[in-house]
Amino acid sequence: MGLFDSIKNFLWKEGGKMGIGKSLVNITDDERINIDPSEYERINKDLIYYSGLPSDVKYHTSDGKETIRKQIGVNMTEKVARRLASIVFNEKCDISFENTALSNFINVVLESNNFKNEFEMRLEQAIACGGIAVRPYVDGNQIKLAWVRADQFYPLQSNTNNISEAALASITTQIENDTVIYYTMLEFHQWKDGQYTITNELYRSDSKNAVGTSVPLDSLDKYKDVEPEVTLDGDQMIKPLFCYMRMPGANNISLESPLGLGIVDNNKHTLDNINNTNDAFMWEIKVGKRRIVVPASMLKTDKAHKLMFDTSDGLYEGLNTENGDVIQDLTKDIRTQEYIDAMNFWLKQLESGAGLADGTFSFDPKTGIQTATAVVSENSMTYQTRSSILTNVSAFINDLCTAILELAQSSQLFDGQQALFSLPAGVDMYNLKMNVHYDDGVFVDKDAQAKQDMLAVSSGIMPKVQFLMRNYGLSQNDAQDWVNQVQAETPEPAPSAETGMFGGD
Protein backbone atom coordinates (compact mmCIF):
# COMPACT_ATOMS: atom_id res chain seq x y z
CA MET A 1 0.00 0.00 0.00
CA GLY A 2 1.30 3.46 -0.95
CA LEU A 3 1.73 6.45 1.33
CA PHE A 4 -1.40 8.14 -0.08
CA ASP A 5 -3.57 5.10 0.63
CA SER A 6 -2.17 4.85 4.15
CA ILE A 7 -2.97 8.52 4.81
CA LYS A 8 -6.46 8.13 3.28
CA ASN A 9 -7.26 5.11 5.45
CA PHE A 10 -5.91 6.93 8.52
CA LEU A 11 -8.13 9.93 7.78
CA TRP A 12 -11.20 7.72 7.34
CA LYS A 13 -10.37 5.88 10.56
CA GLU A 14 -9.94 9.11 12.48
CA GLY A 15 -13.01 10.57 10.77
CA GLY A 16 -15.02 7.61 12.04
CA LYS A 17 -13.93 8.39 15.57
CA MET A 18 -15.10 11.99 15.11
CA GLY A 19 -18.46 10.88 13.72
CA ILE A 20 -17.71 11.97 10.14
CA GLY A 21 -17.68 8.43 8.71
CA LYS A 22 -20.61 6.16 9.53
CA SER A 23 -19.63 3.16 11.66
CA LEU A 24 -21.39 -0.15 12.24
CA VAL A 25 -20.59 -3.06 14.51
CA ASN A 26 -23.29 -5.32 13.08
CA ILE A 27 -25.15 -4.89 9.81
CA THR A 28 -28.43 -4.92 11.74
CA ASP A 29 -27.27 -1.75 13.53
CA ASP A 30 -28.21 0.23 10.41
CA GLU A 31 -31.50 2.01 11.11
CA ARG A 32 -32.90 1.05 7.70
CA ILE A 33 -32.76 -2.68 8.44
CA ASN A 34 -35.98 -3.94 9.96
CA ILE A 35 -35.25 -7.38 11.35
CA ASP A 36 -34.59 -8.94 14.74
CA PRO A 37 -30.78 -9.47 15.09
CA SER A 38 -31.43 -12.82 16.77
CA GLU A 39 -32.55 -14.16 13.40
CA TYR A 40 -28.96 -13.93 12.16
CA GLU A 41 -27.62 -15.58 15.29
CA ARG A 42 -29.99 -18.44 14.44
CA ILE A 43 -28.85 -18.56 10.80
CA ASN A 44 -25.18 -18.56 11.79
CA LYS A 45 -25.84 -21.56 14.06
CA ASP A 46 -27.58 -23.26 11.11
CA LEU A 47 -24.45 -22.73 9.01
CA ILE A 48 -22.30 -24.32 11.73
CA TYR A 49 -24.49 -27.43 11.68
CA TYR A 50 -24.45 -27.45 7.85
CA SER A 51 -20.65 -27.18 7.73
CA GLY A 52 -20.34 -30.23 10.00
CA LEU A 53 -17.61 -28.67 12.13
CA PRO A 54 -17.01 -31.03 15.07
CA SER A 55 -17.66 -29.78 18.57
CA ASP A 56 -15.35 -30.33 21.52
CA VAL A 57 -15.93 -33.22 23.92
CA LYS A 58 -14.51 -33.01 27.44
CA TYR A 59 -13.64 -36.20 29.31
CA HIS A 60 -11.38 -37.37 32.13
CA THR A 61 -8.54 -39.82 31.59
CA SER A 62 -7.82 -42.71 33.92
CA ASP A 63 -5.45 -40.53 35.95
CA GLY A 64 -8.16 -37.88 36.43
CA LYS A 65 -6.92 -35.27 33.96
CA GLU A 66 -9.55 -33.33 31.97
CA THR A 67 -8.92 -33.70 28.25
CA ILE A 68 -10.63 -32.29 25.16
CA ARG A 69 -11.10 -34.16 21.90
CA LYS A 70 -13.11 -33.53 18.72
CA GLN A 71 -16.49 -35.19 18.47
CA ILE A 72 -16.89 -37.90 15.82
CA GLY A 73 -20.26 -36.90 14.42
CA VAL A 74 -22.35 -37.44 11.30
CA ASN A 75 -23.22 -34.40 9.20
CA MET A 76 -26.89 -35.26 8.78
CA THR A 77 -27.78 -31.62 8.06
CA GLU A 78 -25.82 -31.73 4.82
CA LYS A 79 -27.10 -35.22 3.95
CA VAL A 80 -30.76 -34.28 4.43
CA ALA A 81 -30.39 -30.96 2.60
CA ARG A 82 -28.58 -32.58 -0.34
CA ARG A 83 -31.13 -35.40 -0.55
CA LEU A 84 -34.10 -33.02 -0.56
CA ALA A 85 -32.48 -30.59 -3.02
CA SER A 86 -31.79 -33.37 -5.54
CA ILE A 87 -35.38 -34.62 -5.28
CA VAL A 88 -36.92 -31.15 -5.59
CA PHE A 89 -34.92 -29.75 -8.50
CA ASN A 90 -32.38 -30.90 -11.08
CA GLU A 91 -31.05 -30.00 -14.52
CA LYS A 92 -33.95 -31.79 -16.25
CA CYS A 93 -36.33 -28.99 -15.25
CA ASP A 94 -37.79 -27.19 -18.27
CA ILE A 95 -38.80 -23.50 -18.13
CA SER A 96 -40.91 -22.08 -20.95
CA PHE A 97 -43.35 -19.27 -21.75
CA GLU A 98 -46.28 -18.99 -24.10
CA ASN A 99 -44.41 -16.32 -26.06
CA THR A 100 -41.59 -17.98 -28.01
CA ALA A 101 -39.33 -14.90 -28.18
CA LEU A 102 -39.64 -14.39 -24.43
CA SER A 103 -38.96 -18.07 -23.77
CA ASN A 104 -35.84 -18.05 -25.93
CA PHE A 105 -34.43 -14.89 -24.32
CA ILE A 106 -34.97 -16.04 -20.72
CA ASN A 107 -33.49 -19.48 -21.37
CA VAL A 108 -30.38 -17.99 -22.99
CA VAL A 109 -29.80 -15.87 -19.87
CA LEU A 110 -30.42 -18.79 -17.51
CA GLU A 111 -28.21 -21.19 -19.48
CA SER A 112 -25.35 -18.67 -19.70
CA ASN A 113 -25.43 -18.52 -15.89
CA ASN A 114 -25.61 -22.33 -15.48
CA PHE A 115 -28.81 -21.69 -13.54
CA LYS A 116 -30.13 -25.22 -13.20
CA ASN A 117 -26.98 -26.73 -11.73
CA GLU A 118 -26.28 -23.67 -9.61
CA PHE A 119 -29.81 -23.50 -8.23
CA GLU A 120 -29.76 -27.12 -7.07
CA MET A 121 -26.63 -26.37 -5.05
CA ARG A 122 -28.07 -23.12 -3.66
CA LEU A 123 -31.34 -24.86 -2.85
CA GLU A 124 -29.38 -27.24 -0.63
CA GLN A 125 -28.15 -24.25 1.38
CA ALA A 126 -31.66 -22.81 1.54
CA ILE A 127 -33.05 -26.07 2.91
CA ALA A 128 -30.40 -26.02 5.63
CA CYS A 129 -30.71 -22.33 6.58
CA GLY A 130 -34.25 -21.36 5.60
CA GLY A 131 -33.85 -19.26 2.47
CA ILE A 132 -31.77 -18.02 -0.45
CA ALA A 133 -31.75 -14.94 -2.67
CA VAL A 134 -30.48 -14.04 -6.11
CA ARG A 135 -29.94 -10.72 -7.83
CA PRO A 136 -29.50 -10.27 -11.58
CA TYR A 137 -27.02 -7.56 -12.59
CA VAL A 138 -25.56 -6.14 -15.79
CA ASP A 139 -21.99 -7.02 -16.76
CA GLY A 140 -21.08 -5.34 -20.04
CA ASN A 141 -23.97 -6.26 -22.29
CA GLN A 142 -24.85 -9.44 -20.45
CA ILE A 143 -27.08 -10.23 -17.51
CA LYS A 144 -25.40 -12.20 -14.75
CA LEU A 145 -26.77 -13.71 -11.53
CA ALA A 146 -25.34 -13.03 -8.07
CA TRP A 147 -26.41 -15.46 -5.36
CA VAL A 148 -26.98 -14.32 -1.79
CA ARG A 149 -26.90 -16.63 1.23
CA ALA A 150 -29.42 -16.44 4.06
CA ASP A 151 -26.86 -14.69 6.30
CA GLN A 152 -26.24 -12.03 3.63
CA PHE A 153 -29.87 -11.01 3.11
CA TYR A 154 -31.42 -8.27 5.30
CA PRO A 155 -35.05 -7.18 4.83
CA LEU A 156 -35.85 -3.45 5.09
CA GLN A 157 -39.59 -3.28 4.45
CA SER A 158 -41.59 -6.48 4.56
CA ASN A 159 -44.42 -8.48 5.96
CA THR A 160 -44.45 -12.19 6.67
CA ASN A 161 -45.45 -12.93 3.05
CA ASN A 162 -43.50 -10.43 0.98
CA ILE A 163 -40.19 -8.55 1.06
CA SER A 164 -40.23 -5.41 -1.06
CA GLU A 165 -36.96 -3.81 0.10
CA ALA A 166 -33.71 -5.37 1.30
CA ALA A 167 -29.99 -4.94 1.88
CA LEU A 168 -27.56 -7.43 0.37
CA ALA A 169 -24.14 -7.90 1.96
CA SER A 170 -20.87 -9.26 0.60
CA ILE A 171 -17.48 -9.38 2.33
CA THR A 172 -14.03 -9.07 0.72
CA THR A 173 -10.75 -9.61 2.58
CA GLN A 174 -7.46 -7.99 1.66
CA ILE A 175 -3.98 -7.89 3.22
CA GLU A 176 -2.82 -4.34 3.99
CA ASN A 177 0.41 -3.68 5.90
CA ASP A 178 0.50 -7.34 6.98
CA THR A 179 -3.00 -6.98 8.46
CA VAL A 180 -6.18 -8.67 7.25
CA ILE A 181 -8.69 -5.96 6.35
CA TYR A 182 -12.40 -6.76 5.95
CA TYR A 183 -14.47 -4.79 3.43
CA THR A 184 -18.25 -5.13 3.60
CA MET A 185 -20.34 -3.99 0.64
CA LEU A 186 -23.96 -3.15 1.49
CA GLU A 187 -26.37 -2.83 -1.40
CA PHE A 188 -29.70 -1.26 -0.39
CA HIS A 189 -32.68 -1.87 -2.67
CA GLN A 190 -35.50 0.60 -1.95
CA TRP A 191 -38.53 2.21 -3.52
CA LYS A 192 -38.35 6.02 -3.28
CA ASP A 193 -41.21 8.12 -4.64
CA GLY A 194 -42.25 5.30 -6.93
CA GLN A 195 -38.74 4.85 -8.32
CA TYR A 196 -36.47 1.89 -7.70
CA THR A 197 -33.21 3.00 -6.06
CA ILE A 198 -30.05 1.01 -5.36
CA THR A 199 -27.65 2.57 -2.82
CA ASN A 200 -24.13 1.15 -2.50
CA GLU A 201 -22.07 1.61 0.67
CA LEU A 202 -18.63 0.19 1.49
CA TYR A 203 -17.32 -0.37 5.03
CA ARG A 204 -13.77 -1.11 6.17
CA SER A 205 -12.65 -2.90 9.35
CA ASP A 206 -9.54 -4.60 10.72
CA SER A 207 -11.75 -6.96 12.75
CA LYS A 208 -13.98 -9.69 11.36
CA ASN A 209 -16.35 -9.05 14.27
CA ALA A 210 -17.21 -5.50 13.19
CA VAL A 211 -18.55 -4.07 9.93
CA GLY A 212 -16.38 -1.00 10.37
CA THR A 213 -16.39 2.55 9.06
CA SER A 214 -17.76 3.73 5.73
CA VAL A 215 -15.14 4.42 3.07
CA PRO A 216 -15.31 5.53 -0.59
CA LEU A 217 -16.33 2.84 -3.07
CA ASP A 218 -13.03 3.17 -4.94
CA SER A 219 -11.17 1.95 -1.85
CA LEU A 220 -11.44 -1.45 -3.54
CA ASP A 221 -10.61 -1.80 -7.23
CA LYS A 222 -13.59 -4.10 -7.79
CA TYR A 223 -15.98 -1.29 -6.82
CA LYS A 224 -14.19 1.69 -8.40
CA ASP A 225 -16.73 1.90 -11.25
CA VAL A 226 -19.78 1.37 -9.03
CA GLU A 227 -22.07 4.36 -8.58
CA PRO A 228 -23.06 5.29 -5.01
CA GLU A 229 -26.70 5.45 -6.09
CA VAL A 230 -28.57 4.20 -9.15
CA THR A 231 -32.22 4.95 -9.90
CA LEU A 232 -34.24 2.85 -12.32
CA ASP A 233 -37.45 4.47 -13.42
CA GLY A 234 -39.69 2.91 -15.99
CA ASP A 235 -42.94 1.10 -16.42
CA GLN A 236 -41.04 -2.21 -16.39
CA MET A 237 -40.03 -1.77 -12.73
CA ILE A 238 -42.86 -3.59 -10.98
CA LYS A 239 -40.95 -5.83 -8.54
CA PRO A 240 -37.63 -5.73 -6.66
CA LEU A 241 -34.52 -6.76 -8.58
CA PHE A 242 -33.65 -9.25 -5.85
CA CYS A 243 -35.61 -12.48 -5.50
CA TYR A 244 -35.92 -14.24 -2.14
CA MET A 245 -37.12 -17.77 -1.65
CA ARG A 246 -37.99 -18.98 1.84
CA MET A 247 -38.65 -22.52 2.88
CA PRO A 248 -42.36 -23.36 3.31
CA GLY A 249 -43.96 -23.28 6.73
CA ALA A 250 -44.27 -20.63 9.41
CA ASN A 251 -41.32 -19.20 11.29
CA ASN A 252 -42.32 -20.45 14.73
CA ILE A 253 -39.13 -19.05 16.30
CA SER A 254 -39.73 -15.43 15.29
CA LEU A 255 -43.40 -15.10 14.35
CA GLU A 256 -43.11 -11.67 12.70
CA SER A 257 -40.01 -12.49 10.68
CA PRO A 258 -40.26 -12.79 6.88
CA LEU A 259 -37.28 -15.16 6.87
CA GLY A 260 -37.82 -18.89 6.60
CA LEU A 261 -36.62 -21.71 8.82
CA GLY A 262 -34.24 -24.45 7.73
CA ILE A 263 -34.21 -28.11 8.70
CA VAL A 264 -31.77 -27.33 11.53
CA ASP A 265 -33.94 -24.92 13.49
CA ASN A 266 -36.56 -27.34 14.81
CA ASN A 267 -34.28 -30.40 14.80
CA LYS A 268 -31.21 -29.24 16.74
CA HIS A 269 -31.72 -31.67 19.62
CA THR A 270 -32.23 -34.59 17.25
CA LEU A 271 -29.13 -33.69 15.25
CA ASP A 272 -27.15 -33.40 18.49
CA ASN A 273 -28.39 -36.80 19.65
CA ILE A 274 -27.37 -38.40 16.35
CA ASN A 275 -23.87 -36.94 16.72
CA ASN A 276 -23.65 -37.99 20.37
CA THR A 277 -24.76 -41.55 19.57
CA ASN A 278 -22.29 -41.90 16.71
CA ASP A 279 -19.50 -40.40 18.81
CA ALA A 280 -20.21 -42.76 21.73
CA PHE A 281 -20.20 -45.77 19.40
CA MET A 282 -16.94 -44.79 17.71
CA TRP A 283 -15.34 -44.04 21.08
CA GLU A 284 -16.45 -47.40 22.45
CA ILE A 285 -14.79 -49.09 19.47
CA LYS A 286 -11.62 -47.12 20.15
CA VAL A 287 -11.38 -47.76 23.89
CA GLY A 288 -12.91 -51.25 23.65
CA LYS A 289 -10.18 -52.77 21.54
CA ARG A 290 -8.80 -56.09 22.74
CA ARG A 291 -6.47 -55.92 25.75
CA ILE A 292 -4.74 -58.79 27.59
CA VAL A 293 -3.16 -58.25 31.01
CA VAL A 294 0.04 -60.20 31.62
CA PRO A 295 2.70 -60.02 34.32
CA ALA A 296 5.06 -57.15 33.63
CA SER A 297 7.97 -59.54 33.76
CA MET A 298 6.69 -61.29 30.64
CA LEU A 299 7.13 -58.10 28.59
CA LYS A 300 10.78 -57.66 29.47
CA THR A 301 13.34 -58.74 26.92
CA ASP A 302 17.05 -59.46 27.00
CA LYS A 303 19.54 -61.49 25.02
CA ALA A 304 18.12 -64.72 26.32
CA HIS A 305 14.46 -63.70 25.96
CA LYS A 306 13.75 -62.20 22.57
CA LEU A 307 10.61 -60.22 21.64
CA MET A 308 7.89 -62.59 20.38
CA PHE A 309 4.97 -60.15 19.75
CA ASP A 310 4.21 -56.92 17.88
CA THR A 311 4.67 -53.98 20.25
CA SER A 312 2.76 -51.57 18.00
CA ASP A 313 -0.69 -53.12 18.44
CA GLY A 314 -0.97 -52.44 22.19
CA LEU A 315 -2.59 -55.82 22.77
CA TYR A 316 -0.61 -56.73 25.90
CA GLU A 317 -0.43 -54.62 29.05
CA GLY A 318 1.98 -55.39 31.86
CA LEU A 319 0.74 -55.54 35.44
CA ASN A 320 2.87 -55.77 38.55
CA THR A 321 1.23 -58.48 40.61
CA GLU A 322 2.21 -60.93 43.31
CA ASN A 323 0.70 -63.72 41.27
CA GLY A 324 3.20 -64.07 38.45
CA ASP A 325 1.00 -66.37 36.41
CA VAL A 326 -1.99 -64.03 35.95
CA ILE A 327 -3.02 -63.66 32.28
CA GLN A 328 -6.44 -62.14 31.76
CA ASP A 329 -8.34 -60.99 28.68
CA LEU A 330 -10.05 -57.67 29.56
CA THR A 331 -11.89 -57.32 26.24
CA LYS A 332 -15.63 -56.62 26.46
CA ASP A 333 -18.19 -57.02 23.69
CA ILE A 334 -19.04 -53.78 21.92
CA ARG A 335 -22.73 -52.90 22.24
CA THR A 336 -23.26 -52.72 18.50
CA GLN A 337 -26.97 -53.57 18.40
CA GLU A 338 -27.80 -51.10 21.17
CA TYR A 339 -26.12 -48.31 19.25
CA ILE A 340 -27.82 -49.31 15.98
CA ASP A 341 -31.21 -49.22 17.72
CA ALA A 342 -30.45 -45.82 19.25
CA MET A 343 -29.22 -44.41 15.94
CA ASN A 344 -32.30 -45.67 14.09
CA PHE A 345 -34.54 -44.08 16.70
CA TRP A 346 -32.93 -40.68 16.23
CA LEU A 347 -32.85 -41.03 12.42
CA LYS A 348 -36.60 -41.69 12.43
CA GLN A 349 -37.07 -38.59 14.56
CA LEU A 350 -35.06 -36.60 12.02
CA GLU A 351 -37.00 -38.02 9.07
CA SER A 352 -40.24 -36.91 10.71
CA GLY A 353 -38.89 -33.48 11.62
CA ALA A 354 -37.47 -32.83 8.14
CA GLY A 355 -40.58 -34.05 6.31
CA LEU A 356 -39.02 -37.19 4.86
CA ALA A 357 -40.57 -40.63 4.49
CA ASP A 358 -39.73 -43.41 6.93
CA GLY A 359 -36.74 -45.37 5.71
CA THR A 360 -35.03 -42.49 3.92
CA PHE A 361 -32.05 -42.86 6.26
CA SER A 362 -33.20 -45.30 8.94
CA PHE A 363 -33.52 -49.10 8.77
CA ASP A 364 -36.43 -51.10 10.16
CA PRO A 365 -35.51 -54.79 10.72
CA LYS A 366 -39.21 -55.75 10.51
CA THR A 367 -39.78 -54.30 7.05
CA GLY A 368 -36.22 -54.39 5.76
CA ILE A 369 -34.61 -51.72 3.58
CA GLN A 370 -37.16 -49.45 1.93
CA THR A 371 -36.99 -49.29 -1.85
CA ALA A 372 -36.42 -45.92 -3.51
CA THR A 373 -39.93 -46.12 -4.96
CA ALA A 374 -41.50 -46.61 -1.54
CA VAL A 375 -39.49 -43.81 0.05
CA VAL A 376 -40.51 -41.22 -2.55
CA SER A 377 -43.92 -42.54 -3.59
CA GLU A 378 -46.74 -40.08 -4.18
CA ASN A 379 -48.25 -40.99 -0.84
CA SER A 380 -45.06 -40.47 1.13
CA MET A 381 -44.10 -37.56 3.34
CA THR A 382 -41.17 -36.85 1.02
CA TYR A 383 -43.51 -36.28 -1.92
CA GLN A 384 -45.68 -33.89 0.11
CA THR A 385 -42.61 -31.97 1.34
CA ARG A 386 -41.31 -31.70 -2.22
CA SER A 387 -44.66 -30.36 -3.44
CA SER A 388 -44.62 -27.65 -0.77
CA ILE A 389 -41.08 -26.58 -1.67
CA LEU A 390 -41.86 -26.59 -5.41
CA THR A 391 -44.67 -24.07 -4.86
CA ASN A 392 -42.09 -21.61 -3.53
CA VAL A 393 -39.53 -22.59 -6.17
CA SER A 394 -41.98 -21.79 -8.98
CA ALA A 395 -42.74 -18.38 -7.47
CA PHE A 396 -39.00 -17.76 -7.06
CA ILE A 397 -38.25 -18.60 -10.71
CA ASN A 398 -41.11 -16.38 -11.88
CA ASP A 399 -39.78 -13.47 -9.80
CA LEU A 400 -36.28 -14.05 -11.18
CA CYS A 401 -37.52 -14.00 -14.77
CA THR A 402 -39.42 -10.78 -14.03
CA ALA A 403 -36.27 -9.19 -12.57
CA ILE A 404 -34.24 -10.26 -15.62
CA LEU A 405 -36.80 -8.60 -17.89
CA GLU A 406 -36.76 -5.43 -15.76
CA LEU A 407 -33.01 -5.17 -16.19
CA ALA A 408 -33.06 -6.11 -19.88
CA GLN A 409 -35.44 -3.23 -20.62
CA SER A 410 -33.42 -0.62 -18.65
CA SER A 411 -31.56 0.99 -21.54
CA GLN A 412 -29.48 3.22 -19.22
CA LEU A 413 -27.53 0.16 -18.03
CA PHE A 414 -26.26 -0.93 -21.44
CA ASP A 415 -23.75 0.37 -23.95
CA GLY A 416 -25.22 2.91 -26.35
CA GLN A 417 -28.29 3.31 -24.11
CA GLN A 418 -29.84 0.41 -26.03
CA ALA A 419 -32.09 -2.02 -24.13
CA LEU A 420 -31.03 -5.65 -24.30
CA PHE A 421 -34.59 -6.89 -24.88
CA SER A 422 -37.94 -5.37 -25.76
CA LEU A 423 -41.07 -6.93 -24.38
CA PRO A 424 -43.06 -8.58 -27.18
CA ALA A 425 -46.55 -7.33 -27.89
CA GLY A 426 -49.19 -9.04 -25.81
CA VAL A 427 -46.81 -10.05 -22.99
CA ASP A 428 -47.89 -8.79 -19.57
CA MET A 429 -45.12 -8.21 -17.02
CA TYR A 430 -47.62 -9.00 -14.25
CA ASN A 431 -48.45 -12.37 -15.82
CA LEU A 432 -45.67 -13.85 -17.92
CA LYS A 433 -47.59 -17.13 -18.40
CA MET A 434 -44.63 -19.22 -17.37
CA ASN A 435 -44.71 -23.01 -17.43
CA VAL A 436 -42.21 -25.00 -15.34
CA HIS A 437 -41.98 -28.73 -15.95
CA TYR A 438 -40.15 -30.53 -13.14
CA ASP A 439 -38.64 -33.96 -13.55
CA ASP A 440 -40.95 -36.31 -11.64
CA GLY A 441 -39.18 -39.46 -12.81
CA VAL A 442 -38.12 -40.40 -9.28
CA PHE A 443 -41.78 -40.36 -8.19
CA VAL A 444 -43.61 -41.43 -11.31
CA ASP A 445 -43.19 -44.33 -13.74
CA LYS A 446 -43.18 -42.21 -16.88
CA ASP A 447 -43.93 -45.09 -19.23
CA ALA A 448 -46.93 -46.14 -17.14
CA GLN A 449 -48.13 -42.54 -16.92
CA ALA A 450 -47.85 -42.07 -20.69
CA LYS A 451 -49.85 -45.26 -21.33
CA GLN A 452 -52.57 -44.22 -18.89
CA ASP A 453 -52.73 -40.74 -20.37
CA MET A 454 -52.89 -42.20 -23.89
CA LEU A 455 -55.93 -44.25 -22.87
CA ALA A 456 -57.47 -41.11 -21.38
CA VAL A 457 -56.95 -39.22 -24.65
CA SER A 458 -58.36 -42.10 -26.69
CA SER A 459 -61.38 -42.19 -24.37
CA GLY A 460 -61.92 -38.49 -24.91
CA ILE A 461 -61.46 -37.48 -21.27
CA MET A 462 -58.03 -35.78 -21.64
CA PRO A 463 -57.26 -33.04 -24.19
CA LYS A 464 -54.38 -33.78 -26.55
CA VAL A 465 -52.73 -30.49 -25.61
CA GLN A 466 -52.81 -31.48 -21.93
CA PHE A 467 -51.26 -34.85 -22.81
CA LEU A 468 -48.28 -33.16 -24.48
CA MET A 469 -47.84 -30.64 -21.67
CA ARG A 470 -47.93 -33.36 -19.02
CA ASN A 471 -45.68 -35.92 -20.70
CA TYR A 472 -43.31 -33.76 -22.75
CA GLY A 473 -43.05 -30.62 -20.64
CA LEU A 474 -44.29 -28.35 -23.42
CA SER A 475 -45.93 -24.98 -22.89
CA GLN A 476 -49.56 -24.69 -23.91
CA ASN A 477 -48.69 -22.82 -27.10
CA ASP A 478 -46.01 -25.34 -28.11
CA ALA A 479 -48.33 -28.25 -27.38
CA GLN A 480 -51.06 -26.65 -29.50
CA ASP A 481 -48.53 -26.14 -32.31
CA TRP A 482 -47.67 -29.86 -32.18
CA VAL A 483 -51.33 -30.83 -32.40
CA ASN A 484 -51.91 -28.43 -35.33
CA GLN A 485 -48.83 -29.71 -37.15
CA VAL A 486 -49.80 -33.37 -36.72
CA GLN A 487 -53.32 -32.66 -37.91
CA ALA A 488 -51.95 -30.82 -40.95
CA GLU A 489 -49.68 -33.73 -41.83
CA THR A 490 -52.34 -36.40 -41.31
CA PRO A 491 -54.24 -37.27 -44.52
CA GLU A 492 -58.00 -37.36 -44.44
CA PRO A 493 -58.96 -40.92 -43.37
CA ALA A 494 -61.36 -43.08 -45.30
CA PRO A 495 -64.86 -43.20 -43.79
CA SER A 496 -64.24 -46.68 -42.35
CA ALA A 497 -60.69 -46.07 -41.13
CA GLU A 498 -59.86 -45.47 -37.49
CA THR A 499 -58.54 -42.04 -36.70
CA GLY A 500 -55.20 -41.70 -34.98
CA MET A 501 -54.67 -40.00 -31.68
CA PHE A 502 -53.95 -36.60 -33.23
CA GLY A 503 -56.02 -37.05 -36.41
CA GLY A 504 -59.66 -36.32 -37.04
CA ASP A 505 -62.00 -34.49 -34.79
Structure confidence by residue, pLDDT tens digits, 449-492: 788 888 888 888 889 988 888 788 787 888 888 988 888 888 76
Angle at 320 between CA 319 and CA 324, to 5 degrees: 95
Percent pLDDT > 70 in the chain is 79
What span, in angstroms and rounded, lies between the C-alpha atoms of 243 and 400? 6
Alpha carbon 315 to its chain's center:
47
Residues with Cβ < 8 Å from 198, sequence gap 6 or more?
Answer: 187, 188, 189, 190, 229, 230, 231, 232, 241
Q: What is the pLDDT of residue 3?
A: 47
pLDDT of residue 77 exceeding 50: yes
Angle at 341 between CA 336 and CA 346, to 5 degrees: 125
Strand 292-295, strand 316-319: pairing: parallel
pLDDT of residue 98 exceeding 50: yes
The pLDDT-based confidence of 272 (bands split at 50, 70, 90) is very high
The mean pLDDT value of the chain amounts to: 84
C-alpha separations of 49 from 43, 148, 265, 361 in Å = 10, 19, 10, 18
Angle at 501 between CA 497 and CA 502, to 5 degrees: 100
Q: What is the pLDDT of residue 287?
A: 72
The pLDDT-based confidence of 231 (bands split at 50, 70, 90) is very high
Dihedral pair phi/psi, residue 96, rounded to 5°: -145, 165
Q: What is the pLDDT of residue 90?
A: 87
Q: What is the pLDDT of residue 235?
A: 75
Among 132-141, 331-340, 451-460, the range scoring the smallest mean pLDDT is 331-340
pTM (two decimals) = 0.77
The pLDDT-based confidence of 19 (bands split at 50, 70, 90) is very low
The pLDDT-based confidence of 16 (bands split at 50, 70, 90) is very low
Among 106-110, 122-126, 131-135, 359-363, the range scoring the smallest mean pLDDT is 359-363
Q: What is the pLDDT of residue 462?
A: 87
Q: Region 369-386: what's the mean pLDDT?
A: 70
CB-based contact 34:253 (threshold 8 Å): no
What span, in angstroms and rounded, lies between the C-alpha atoms of 4 and 219? 12
CB-based contact 405:398 (threshold 8 Å): no
Looking at mean pLDDT, say which of 58-67, 376-385, 389-398, 485-494 comes out highest: 389-398
Percent pLDDT > 90 in the chain is 52
293 vs 254: which has the higher pLDDT: 254
What span, in angstroms and rounded, lies between the C-alpha atoms of 211 and 166? 17
Q: Region 147-167: what's the mean pLDDT?
A: 89
| C-beta pairs of 326-329 under 8 Å, 24+ apart in sequence | 326/293, 326/294, 326/295, 327/292, 327/293, 327/294, 327/295, 328/292, 328/293, 329/290, 329/291, 329/292, 329/293
Q: Region 442-453: what's the mean pLDDT?
A: 71
CB-based contact 204:219 (threshold 8 Å): yes
Q: What is the pLDDT of residue 271?
A: 96
**β-bridge mates for residue 171, sequence order:** 184
What span, in angstroms and rounded, lies between the C-alpha atoms of 11 and 5? 10
Q: Region 318-340: what's the mean pLDDT?
A: 73
For residue 346, which amino acid is it? W
Q: What is the pLDDT of residue 20?
A: 42
**Nearest one of 187, 186, 184, 188 to 212, comparing CA atoms:** 184
Q: What is the pLDDT of residue 321?
A: 64
Q: What does the CA dihedral 14, 18, 24, 29 come to, rounded to 10 degrees?
A: 180
Q: Region 189-201: what's the mean pLDDT?
A: 92
Q: What is the pLDDT of residue 493?
A: 64
The pLDDT-based confidence of 1 (bands split at 50, 70, 90) is very low
Helix (H) or strand (E) holding 246, with range, is strand 243-246
Among 170-184, 197-211, 316-330, the range scoring the smallest mean pLDDT is 316-330
